Structure 1
Amino acid sequence: MFTLSVGHLLGLFATLAAFVALAVHAARKVGSAEGFSLSGRRAGPTMIAGSIAGTSVAGASTIGTAQMAFSYGITAWWFTLGVGIALILMACFYAKPLRASGLETLPQYLTRHYGRAAGLIASAVSSTGILFSAVASAISGIALIGVLFGLVPWQAGAIIAALVIGTVFFGGLKGAGLAGLLKMAAIGLALAVAGVAAAIALARVPDFSTVFPFDPWFDPFAHGVSQTIADFVALLVGMICTQTYIQAMFSAVDTRTAARGTLVAGLLSIPVGLPCVAIGMAMHAAHPDMAAIYALPVFLVTEVPPVIGGIGLAGILFSVVGSISGLALGIGTMIAGDFGRGLLKIRDGRALLWLNRFAVLAVTALAFAIALANAGSQVLAWNYLSMALRGAGVFLPMALAVFRPGHLNGRRAAVSMALATLAAVCGRFVFHLPLHPLFVGLAVSAVVIGAGLRRARLRQA
């Protein structure tokens, strides 16, 4: 357990109070399902950037990056670099056609192009993948709260779950967006100060080249070229197929705003990893026997001014809360829109609003139940599985719907989604293939879709 000074507690709880105030403020302006899930489609670029960055810059971008840098060095930057590039690609190529559709969820978009079966399969697959990402964030948050305050896992989980519910259960996307803006400000301030302190500490390391030889500390492919590229591509594909980020685009007032907000979120995400890398390496030099996952919080407690450190700890906590909030809201929106409105034919706006809210509550509870049952598991393992499930079956049909609409048969699209996702899961858990599960799924998807496109061309000939 860390010893937090009065200054740490002041910075932590003052930021927490601001966080709660924003959630309450957002809740007062939510009176419909669309207002809850899409901010009434009036979100500006700042709110969109906050919603996306509040989810994408989470525990993996901060604690996870510092953790990897503690053991491997600069290769840890690939994660936030990939997050930023994925968002930039979405801003450039996906924001306009997705926002112009006027829809609410990615499965609805696929339903428009391929039919209801494809939409329902995409909703189920995406929800499962996003849930696993929420589990990863929950595991990180439980460990952080537990070590900061000496709480047992269920107590730490209850605190984080309460913060998640308070953020998104009442305020919806607007609450998540406001929280994301506050979180990015807190993390930006703390990492700017901590990054400079870490750079100074590294400059003072005696015999620097001996402590940090090029391999692995400054080799960007320290995990191997093929593994690094596989993880990077999985990150790009998985993020592009995530309802949470697409939902933020749908909430924009127009297509231009959707692209601008997503672009800003991407540009904000890329540099977050650099101070975390410096912090991880500095903590390795100072405390080589410390558990790597604690590198960032320990540095904030011991090496920066207490109030700034407290703000930073709150920012990291909010990064976990914001990630789970955004991911749970994405699932809740798909359940309300695709199953409530689409399958069950619910038309009452208030009923859809409460269905969305209780779906968020159920997803949050399930994510923490799974996290508590797997508290000792690897966080990145859940993230990689999440990315594979999100992208393996959905990415290629989605890309064709966006860039070549009308070319793929709806039945073929639905079959490809189902088989590709099944192949990714079986390749990972049943056959234990050495290939990344994402690429197993993409290969099956490409074969099924390719056969369908070829058959269509032969018929036309």
Structure 2
Amino acid sequence: MALDLFVVLIYAASMLVLGYYGMRRAKTHEDYLVAGRNLGPSLYMGTMAATVLGGASTVGTVRLGYVHGISGFWLCAALGAGIIALNLFLAKPLLKLKIFTVTQVLEKRYNPMARQASAVIMLAYALMIGVTSILAIGTVLQVLFGLPFWVSVLLGGGVVVVYSTIGGMWSLTLTDIVQFVIKTVGLMFILLPICLYRVGGWDQLVAKLPASNFSFTEIGWDTIITYFMIYFFGILIGQDIWQRVFTARDEKVAQYAGTFAGFYCILYGLACALIGMAAHVLLPNLDNVNNAFAAIVKASLPDGIRGLVIAAALAAMMSTASAGLLAASTVLTEDLLPRLRGGKQSSLRINRLFTMLTGLAVLGIALVVNDVISALTLAYNLLVGGMLIPLIGAIFWKRATTSGAISSMTLGFVTALVFMFKDGLDANTPIYYSLAIGLVSFVVVSLLSRRPEASVARAA
């Protein structure tokens, strides 16, 4: 494994170098948070796709493919569809607002109290997005190199924290482009063909797996619908994704390059599901299906090539980890911290400090959570359950009020937590009940409370 370790170390070092170049370009507050709002099609497409496709969509989709067959691709399909919808229909009005966070839309439509309440929910979501990918990094390094899990988390996650802290969005953009290329080559053009070759080709894959593994609905319609309820709508309102939209040079860049990124996500999901299916044939008796990705990499690839694919997997995970990390720190510095500082806006130095502190918090949480899909589900349940209804209401319903929005956020968030605790993180009830209760409370409280005099951001 010495050659593989060398390749991974070279990759990690290159991320730190790119982080340094990002630091040199991040000269202002706007540069640090949204790359100066100046990304062209290639950079925008690469950073958008890299942000969405992280640890859960890579390690998690391979696991789903191992268990459910080709239908495991629906997780990535829901994410990709969300990216397409966001860039086609919401990017234009969002770019006109010249804002930094999702919650600023709520302040424009309601009042500062709604912004603060929603910021707490968004912070919890963004932290868990970072945790999810740090967990995946730790899992891969632990299985492949035999490192203790805590060492794997601190080493892999530490690289992410360093380059995110020093350069902000410019560092993330530069590293994302390299990560996008590496994971495309490593997973779609190296690992997938080699896995199919080891199985004996497509015909042998079909012969050795049950026919149900090739059904696109094997995973179950309830799960498919839940994926869209959670991930599709989560993409539409997630701070980590909106922050990428804010980096586009103009609306055409967002619409065309963003749509391409969405279709790429769907193809990526199909590739990862097929890798999981091949892993089921080659390694039918895994003790822990969460390790399906790392196990198939270790078993099927030669030295050196294995290191490149490990780097590809780490690229996918680090891009999403850094996105969640910067999103969480942006919510802190733009939405919550000014409230404590009497309205004083954050500086570039404050942004860097809080990105570092947020990174340390993400690493700490990752050491006590152990399931990537569950962590991702937790994040999206809290986000969608708490914020989807009041945010859509802010945009489309003139009668919506601040009281209705805050009640919807609070009850939706609490309901999601209660049902996740009661029925488990993999249950469908948290998202269904939180949306239902959030909608009812939003409508009823808005109708019973005083009608707003103005709808500042209805056009948003």
Q: Return the TM-score normalized by structure 2.
A: 0.90
For residue 220 of structure 1, give the secondary structure of its aligned residue in structure 2: coil
Alpha-carbon separation, structure 2, partners of 1:388 and 1:99: 26
Measure, in 2, the Cα distance between the counterparts of 1:337 and 1:271: 35
Instruction: Give me the identity figure in percent.
Output: 24
Q: Which deviates more, 431-440 or 136-145?
A: 431-440
Q: Sort the Cα spacing of 1:314 and 1:432 in 2 relative to 1 into closer, same or farther, 3 A.
A: closer
Shift of 1:380: 1.4
Q: Deviations over 1:387-411 (max 9, x none)?
A: 1111112112212333x26331122
After TM superposition, list the pairs within 5 Å mapping 1:223-372 onto structure 2. 223-290=219-286, 291-304=288-301, 306-341=303-338, 344-345=341-342, 347=344, 351-372=346-367
Cα 1:264–1:431 shift into 2, 3 Å = closer
Pick from 410, 423, 437: which aligns with 1:418?
410
Given candidates 383, 387, 391, the residue that maps to 2:380 is 387
Give the direction of change, closer, same or farther, for the CA distance of 1:342–1:262 in structure 2 (3 Å limit): farther
CA distance, structure 2, for counterparts of residue 261 and residue 339 of structure 1:
32
1:443 counterpart SS class: helix
In structure 2, the partner of 1:406 is 398
Tell me the secondary structure at the aligned position of residue 393 of structure 1. helix
Deviations 1:229-287 (A, max 9, x none): 11232111122121011011112222332333432321221111222222222222122
Structure 2 distance, partners of 1:248, 1:343, is 27
Partner amino acid, structure 2, of 1:361: M
What's the CA shift string for 1:61-102, capped at 9, x where partnerless?
Answer: 222211221222112111111111110010111111111111
| Contact 2:333 2:350 (C-alpha < 8 Å) held by counterparts | yes
**Deviation (angstroms), 1:198:** 2.5
| Match in the other structure for 1:373 | 368
Which range moved further: 205-214 or 292-301?
A: 205-214
Q: Secondary structure at the match of 1:28?
A: helix
CA contact (8 A) 1:249 1:259 kept: no
d(CA) in 1 for partners of 2:314 and 2:226?
Answer: 29
1: distance between equivalents of 2:389 and 2:125?
16
| Cα deviation 1:191-220 (Å, max 9, x = unaligned) | 2122222233444488755631122x1232
After alignment, is 265-274 or 110-119 more displaced? 265-274
Aligned residue number for residue 178 of structure 1? 174
Q: Secondary structure at the match of 1:373?
A: coil
The whole-number CA distance in structure 1 between the counterparts of 2:364 and 2:219 is 32
Cα gap change, 1:181/1:246 in structure 2, threshold over 3 Å: closer, same or farther? same
Q: Given residue 359 of structure 1, which amino acid in structure 2 is its aligned partner?
A: F
Partner of residue 11, structure 2: 15
The structure-2 alpha-carbon separation of the partners of 1:261 and 1:340, relative to structure 1 and needing over 3 Å to count, comes to: farther
More deviation, 326-335/71-80? 71-80
Distance 2:301 2:132 in 1: 28
Amino acid at match of 1:360: T
SS at match of 2:215: coil
Deviates more, 1:312-321 or 1:337-346: 337-346
Q: Which runs of 5+ in 1 are unaligned?
A: none
TM-score (norm 1): 0.90
Deviation string, structure 1 residues 91-136 (Cα, Å, up to 9, x no partner): 1111111111111100111111111111111110011122122222
Match status 1:442 vs 2:447: no
Structure 2, gaps ≥5 residues long: 454-460
Q: CA deviation at 1:12?
A: 2.9
Which letter does structure 2 place at the counterpart of 1:130? A
The aligned amino acid for 1:339 is L
Which shifted more, 432-441 or 239-248?
A: 432-441
Check 1:437–1:199 CA distance in 2 against 1; reply closer, same or farther (3 A cut). Answer: same
